[in-house]
Amino acid sequence: MMALAVGSWGCASLPKTGVESTGEPLNVEVRTETHTYVTQAKVGEVQHRDSSGRLVGTSSLYENQVGSYDVTRWQVFQGETNIDDQDFYSIAGDADAAAQIADYRSTGVSMNRVGIGLAIVGGAAMLAGIILGSSLTTKDEYGFESRPTWTTAAATGGIIVGLVGGGVAWAGYARTKREHPIDDPQKAANAARRYNKQIGEQPEPEEEERPRRKRRR
């Protein structure tokens, strides 16, 4: 069961990288999406009294309220082509950021491999403990069953090791699949701005604020 659970995530692998510079400018596209949700909020209480006016209970009043939250998503481009963050920083000349992303993902692959190994070992120990415990079970003269304590310890230890291994494998897999290991769009925008300046790409002019008309007195 543990091996199947880990296998459902699959073995982690490094994303395909190696895009070279085409001389096109680098761009960072940032967009904010607003999501809404409905929740119930308590707005009051109603008291219930009997014919003598004695309080016998209360009930709460609720109403639906709409809330919202913002989600910021961003992507990096070379020209109009979406590229990987590691390639983006390599092209931009930020070797430290590119190396940081590569190390982050490599660590994720290692964690995934170690976790899968632990899950398999834990699953094997659990099965061995259960099977051997069942085969080595004996009965005394009163009909009470007993089995070697080490078989129970092996099964319990296998479960713990397998669960830990599954968690490590999942965490490593998630690291390799994370879209932005350095989740900082401003850092990416600064790198793009420096690179575009080096290749002679002029930044888009910002719209100037129109002068306000003077009010007549």
Q: What is the pLDDT of residues 12-51, one digit of tens each?
A: 899 999 999 999 999 999 999 899 989 888 888 888 888 8
For the segment 44-98, what is each residue's pLDDT rounded down to a tens digit?
Answer: 888 888 888 888 888 888 888 888 988 889 999 999 999 999 999 999 999 999 9
* C-alpha to C-alpha distance for 189 and 75, rounded to whole angstroms: 10
Please check whether residue 3 is in contact with residue 119, taking contact to mean a CB–CB distance below 8 angstroms.
yes
Q: What percent of the chain has pLDDT over 70?
A: 88
Residue 203 has pLDDT above 70, yes or no: no
- Provide the pLDDT confidence category of residue 9 given band limits of 50, 70 and 90: low
Report, as an integer, the average pLDDT of 161-169.
93
Work out the angle between the directed axes of helices 2-9 and 149-177 (0-180°, nearest 10): 10
* C-alpha to C-alpha distance for 65 and 203, rounded to whole angstroms: 44
- Provide the pLDDT confidence category of residue 165 given band limits of 50, 70 and 90: very high
Nearest to 154 by CA among 172, 175, 136: 136
Hey, what amino acid is at 109?
V
Q: Which residues contact 34 (CB under 8 A, 6 or more apart)?
A: 68, 69, 70, 71
Taking the CA of residue 17 as centre, how many other CA atoms within 13 Å lie in the half-sphere pointing to its CB? 17
Mean of the per-residue pLDDT values for the chain?
86
> Highest-confidence range of 46-50, 121-125, 187-191, 208-212, by mean pLDDT?
187-191
Residue 217 has pLDDT above 50, yes or no: no
**pLDDT in the model for residue 210:** 46
* C-alpha to C-alpha distance for 105 and 176, rounded to whole angstroms: 5
* C-alpha to C-alpha distance for 130 and 125, rounded to whole angstroms: 9
Report, as an integer, the average pLDDT of 87-112.
96
**pLDDT in the model for residue 95:** 96
The pair of structure tokens assigned to 44 is 């009051």
Report, as an integer, the average pLDDT of 191-214.
69
Report, as an integer, the average pLDDT of 155-163.
92
**pLDDT in the model for residue 21:** 94
Residue 206 has pLDDT above 50, yes or no: no
- Provide the pLDDT confidence category of residue 175 given band limits of 50, 70 and 90: very high
**pLDDT in the model for residue 179:** 92
DSSP letter (8 states) at residue 182: S
Give pTM, 2 decimals.
0.73
Q: How far is residue 62 CA from its own chain's centroid?
A: 34
Note the helical H segments in the chain.
2-9, 85-92, 95-135, 149-177, 185-198
* C-alpha to C-alpha distance for 95 and 114, rounded to whole angstroms: 28
